[in-house]
């Protein structure tokens, strides 16, 4: 069967995301997805908590801030510490049965892996729907996947509900489980799809964040 999954979504367990567990499932279903990976920054427990509390297929994961750039770890059974080198991080992910994805490797900000992407990874996030510049970073990631013979995946890097599903991966699996999805990605039975998140939606996310900060601040004042 073919699964359509957004493999890069942040929830309120990441300080910079507005997505509640309820939003996650509402928007994932609305966008026609069958699964979603929860990949909060350096935090794993939230993903497992969400997975336990819903029937929707959740792939538990996290986004690790390695010393060399961000790495998405899917289906890991333990927290992967931040601050290790990219290679050490990938080794730790493999040791606990996970899938190591070089996420947004060529975007225009400091958290990207660039030349630290190597054969040790299982996959490259060829499409990151919030990547800037979108076309150029996608092209470079495609070239790296080709050169290193790595699987290609896509995700949104969503931090706001309506962004979910702009980037998604189609995965061919024998059964709809997180383990089967992880194996299929490693085996290359997947393809990246998607389009950039509209700028207006990113702007709305920033406005909502500011509103939330102001509300928190005024709550504290009362």
Nearest residue (CB) to Zn ion, 129 versus 178? 129
Q: What minimum distance in Å lies between the beta carbon of 124 and Zn ion?
A: 14
For residue 70, state whether it binds Zn ion (rule: CB under 5 A): yes
Q: Going by C-beta distance under 8 Å and a sequence separation of 6 or more, which residues neighbour residue 124?
A: 101, 102, 105, 117, 141, 144, 145, 148, 150, 151, 152, 153
Nearest residue (CB) to Zn ion, 23 versus 157? 157
71 to 110: interface string for Zn ion, x by CB under 5 A:
----------------------------------------
Q: What minimum distance in Å lies between the beta carbon of 219 and Zn ion?
A: 27
Q: What minimum distance in Å lies between the beta carbon of 188 and Zn ion?
A: 23
Question: Residue 91 corresponds to which tokens in the numbers above?
Answer: 């080794």
For residue 125, state whether it binds Zn ion (rule: CB under 5 A): no
For residue 157, state whether it binds Zn ion (rule: CB under 5 A): yes
Q: Inter-axis angle of helices 21-30 and 45-52, to 10 degrees?
A: 60
Phi, psi of 78 (to 5 degrees): -135, 155
Applying CB under 5 A, the span of 118-126, 138-146, 156-164, 168-176 interacting with Zn ion comes to 156-164
Question: Three-class SS of residue 163?
Answer: helix
Burial class of residue 214, CB neighbours in 10 A (0-12, 13-18, 19+)? exposed
Q: In angstroms, how far apart are the furthest CA atoms of the chain?
A: 58
Near Zn ion in 26-65, by CB under 5 A? 63
Q: Which residue is nearest to Zn ion (CB)?
A: 70
Binding site for Zn ion (CB under 5 A): 63, 70, 111, 157
């Amino acid at each position: 069967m073919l699964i359509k999954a957004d493999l890069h979504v942040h929830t309120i367990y990441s300080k910079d995301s507005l997505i509640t567990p309820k939003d996650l499932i509402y928007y994932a279903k609305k966008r026609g997805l069958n699964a979603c990976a929860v990949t909060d920054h350096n935090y794993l427990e939230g993903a497992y908590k969400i997975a336990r509390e819903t029937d929707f297929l959740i792939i538990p994961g996290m986004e690790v801030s390695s010393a060399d750039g961000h790495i998405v770890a899917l289906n890991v059974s333990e927290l992967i510490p931040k601050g290790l080198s990219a290679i050490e991080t990938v080794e730790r992910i493999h040791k606990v049965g996970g899938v190591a994805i070089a996420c947004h490797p060529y975007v225009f900000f400091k958290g990207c892996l660039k030349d630290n992407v190597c054969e040790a990874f299982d996959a490259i996030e060829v499409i990151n729907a919030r990547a800037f510049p979108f076309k150029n970073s996608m092209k470079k990631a495609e070239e790296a996947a080709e050169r290193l013979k790595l699987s290609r995946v896509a995700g949104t890097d969503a931090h706001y509900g309506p962004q979910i599903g702009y980037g998604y991966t189609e995965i061919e699996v024998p059964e709809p489980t997180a383990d089967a999805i992880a194996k299929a990605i490693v085996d290359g039975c997947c393809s990246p799809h998607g389009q950039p998140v509209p700028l207006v939606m990113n702007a709305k996310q920033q406005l909502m964040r500011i509103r939330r900060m102001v509300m928190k601040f005024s709550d504290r004042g009362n």
